[in-house]
């Protein structure tokens, strides 16, 4: 599966949440509402999640291996940096 499109949308607030992202695989599968968060060691990508009845959060979608997670994170962070530089 190849990442064929990444779109980044800046967050409106000025906290740790920097942007939202949408990613498309093989021009046929889309994942929306990934979050780009500024952490202590740099930016990272948080998967879309839903709050459970007990107040905890659970990812709705997530990669099943570290290689796929790294590919997603690299693509999204790269596009985020490109969008910040172009402003």
Q: Which domains does the chain have, with CATH numbers?
A: 3-85 (3.30.1120.40)
- What pLDDT does residue 87 have? 63
Over residues 60-87, the pLDDT tens digits come to 999 999 999 999 999 999 999 998 887 6
The predicted pLDDT at position 1 comes to 85
Mean residue pLDDT across the chain: 93
Which position has the token pair 């942007």? Answer: 19
Nearest Cα to 46, choosing from 81, 77, 1? Answer: 77
Q: What is the dihedral of CA 1, 66, 31, 5, to 10 degrees?
A: -50
**Structure confidence by residue, pLDDT tens digits, 31-56:** 999 999 999 999 999 999 999 999 99
Q: What percent of the chain has pLDDT over 90?
A: 87
């Amino acid at each position: 599966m190849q990442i064929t499109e990444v779109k980044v949308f800046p967050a409106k607030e000025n906290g740790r949440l920097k942007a939202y992202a949408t990613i498309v695989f093989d021009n046929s599968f889309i994942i929306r509402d990934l979050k780009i968060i500024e952490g202590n060691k740099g930016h990272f990508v948080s998967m879309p999640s839903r709050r459970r009845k007990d107040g905890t959060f659970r990812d709705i979608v997530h990669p099943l291996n570290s290689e796929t997670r790294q590919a997603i994170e690299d693509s999204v962070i790269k596009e985020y940096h490109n969008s910040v530089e172009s402003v």
